[in-house]
Amino acid sequence: MRFFIVDDDQGIRSMLADIIEDETLGEVVGEAEDGYQVDADLLELKKVDILLIDLLMPLRDGIQTVRELAPMFNGKIIMISQIETKDMIGEAYSLGIEYYIAKPINRLEVLAVIRKVEERLRLQKSIQDIQKSLQVLNLGKSMERAETSGAQPSITAAGRSLLSELGLIGEAGSKDLLDMLEYLYEYDIAAEVPLSFPALKDIFRGIALRKLGSTASESDFTKEIKASEQRVRRALFQTLNHVASLGLTDYSNPKFENIASKYFDFTEIRKKMRELQNDADPSLTQTKINTKKFVQVLYLEAKRLIH
């Protein structure tokens, strides 16, 4: 089974992940600290079977998130919270959650609930397999092709997954980065032969053209491009600080090792770590951020996920 955990408490997320892994219940394929960081595309890309989600979170709570996910998410949802009012629990169940786990977390209760949900999933899968077999017998190969068509995740869904892992999905510049991925993917498809990575100014102009249309004035283009550049730069600055903090906490953390060298210039990571160590106020203007490298790596990683 593949699990995704959403809770604003890192300790709760770690505790649940430990229970799942220690008891070999499956694999934790993703985590998020707030509901706004999760959508159906991300869960589909991660092939999530069971979503464990907190009820109360600062920006988008569990009820709102489940309401958004329910029509499109085919997995099972387990709600977690220390709030036990009948109205809230009733609303959660009406939206389609399978079980409710009360905080503080009890290991035996978590195990019992997850095993019940796993059993339901297995039963559901068995029924689906039987239905598919009957459909194949009745309708032949055409039905099978229809069921599998459109299963390939989009470049946007892949990008959203990567931005979530980077802690970037809630930043204002995340939409600009997703627009850049779409632009680059279309640029790749249109090219008859492999071309070099386009200049950043061309990418920003391309997404401004898509947003404003060809009838916009040059001054409008200039304003939009500048605003987009600033949003992206601020978002990368926040991610750089986050990664540097991660390195200070645990230098051998696999996430730190992967992100630090892949998406950023490591000299800047080290500089930022020293600033944080000395309690220096981080400055956007004094920080060198290689935006082109970040976007290029993000695009190549997103392409790898969908091919």
- Domain final residue pick, 57, 92, 119: 119
Is residue 72 located within the same domain as residue 177? no
Residues 276 and 167 in one domain: yes
Residues 273 and 194 reside in one and the same domain = yes
pLDDT tens for residues 220-260?
989 999 999 999 998 888 888 888 887 887 777 777 777 87
**Single-letter amino acid code for the residue at 201:** K
| Whether this model's pTM surpasses 0.85 | no
**Residue 29, domain CATH:** 3.40.50.2300
Asked whether residue 138 is domain-assigned, the answer is no
- Other Cβ atoms closer than 10 A to 261: 11
Give yes or no for residue 195 having a pLDDT over 60: no
pLDDT at 238: 84
Quote the tokens at residue 225: 């491009």
Q: What is the domain extent for residue 63?
A: 2-119
Average pLDDT over residues 152-171: 80
Confidence bin at 143 (pLDDT 50/70/90): very low
Residue 139 lies in a domain: no
pLDDT score for 149: 42
pLDDT at 130 over 80: no
Q: Mean of the pLDDT values across residues 132-157? A: 55
In a domain, 132, yes or no: no
* The two structure tokens encoding residue 193: 């032969």
Query: Which tokens sit at 158?
Result: 């892949």
Q: 202 with 302, same domain?
A: yes
Instruction: Give 278: exposed, middle or buried? Use CB within 10 Å, 0-12, 13-18, 19+.
Output: exposed
Do 194 and 250 belong together in one domain?
Answer: yes
3-state secondary structure of 101: strand
128 domain residue, yes or no: no
29 sits in which H/E element: strand 27-32
Q: What is the pLDDT of residues 84-129, one digit of tens each?
A: 666 777 777 777 787 888 888 889 989 988 988 888 777 777 666 6
Q: Is residue 82 part of a domain?
A: yes
Residue 175 pLDDT > 70? yes
Q: Tell the burial category of 306 from Cβ atoms under 10 Å away from its Cβ (0-12, 13-18, 19+).
A: middle
pLDDT for res 28: 93
Domain count, the chain: 2
